[in-house]
Amino acid sequence: MMAFQSLRSDDCIDEVIDKYANMVYRLALAQMKTKHDAEDVFQEVFLRYISKTRTFESEEHRKAWLIRVTINQSKSLWSAWFRKTEPLDDAMVFETKEENDLYEYLTLLPQKYRSVIHFFYYEELSVKEISETLNAKESTIRTWLTRARSILKEKLKGGFHDGTEHL
């Protein structure tokens, strides 16, 4: 019989937040595009984590739950507050111009492409793990990765314009 770890253990909560805070925030930022919205999603994810009594079969199960809740909260916040606004001063600061440019290009991708790129390169999930997380076929995930890479390659070769052509 598998051992289950309760979510309500106080010391476990601190450890889980420490372990997964960066992953949840990065994923929320990739989904939402602004720091303010990503922070809202981040807070809601961990509020749900703390307030729900759940058990997990493994650390992979816990990680998958956090990823799924982050995606769902991002979708929920996005659809509830759908708006076209310009952030006041929400630019990400990276060490190099290339990193800033890449982030800008990533934010221009459709959400499904941003998600697979984020999972594959930043969270280092396999195609199989991404397909399970997003409830999509592995072949679909591979197609999305290929298309996202192709769009990014074109953008990086052609330079930054308004970001809407080819997307």
Q: Measure the CA–CA gap between 120 and 85, rounded to whole angstroms.
A: 29
pLDDT range class, residue 109, cuts 50, 70, 90: confident
The mean pLDDT of 49-53, rounded to a whole number, is 82
Q: Measure the CA–CA gap between 117 and 115, rounded to whole angstroms.
A: 5
Whether 1-84 and 91-167 share one fold: the answer is no
At 13-30, the pLDDT tens digits run 888 889 999 999 999 988
The mean pLDDT of 32-37, rounded to a whole number, is 85
Q: Measure the CA–CA gap between 51 and 69, rounded to whole angstroms.
A: 13
Which range, 26-35, 104-113, 135-144, has the best average confidence (pLDDT)? 135-144
Cβ neighbours of residue 59 closer than 8 Å, sequence gap 6 or more: none
pLDDT range class, residue 112, cuts 50, 70, 90: confident
Q: Percentage of the chain surpassing pLDDT 70? A: 75
pLDDT given at position 93 = 54
Inter-residue long-range contacts of 38-41, CB under 8 Å, 24+ positions, other chains counted: 40/77, 41/70, 41/73, 41/74, 41/77
Choose the CATH number for 1-84 among 3.40.50.970, 1.10.1740.10, 3.40.50.10800, 3.30.470.160.
1.10.1740.10
Residue 43's alpha-carbon distances to 35, 127, 133, 143, 166, in angstroms, are 12, 28, 21, 32, 34
Which is higher by pLDDT, 85 or 43? 43
pLDDT given at position 8 = 43
At 67-102, the pLDDT tens digits run 999 988 988 876 544 444 444 445 555 567 777 777
Q: Which three-class secondary structure state does DSSP give residue 102?
A: helix
Where residue 33 falls (left for φ over 0; alpha for ψ -120 to 50; beta otherwise) is left
Reported as half-sphere exposure (CB side, CA atoms, 13 A), residue 2 has a value of: 9
Q: Measure the CA–CA gap between 125 and 120, rounded to whole angstroms.
A: 5
pLDDT given at position 138 = 94
CATH class as words, domain 91-167: mainly alpha
Domain ranges in the chain are: 1-84, 91-167
Token pair, residue 89, equals: 């001063």
Judged against a pLDDT cut of 90, whether residue 142 lies above it is answered with: yes
pLDDT given at position 162 = 45
Judged against a pLDDT cut of 70, whether residue 166 lies above it is answered with: no
Q: pTM value?
A: 0.59
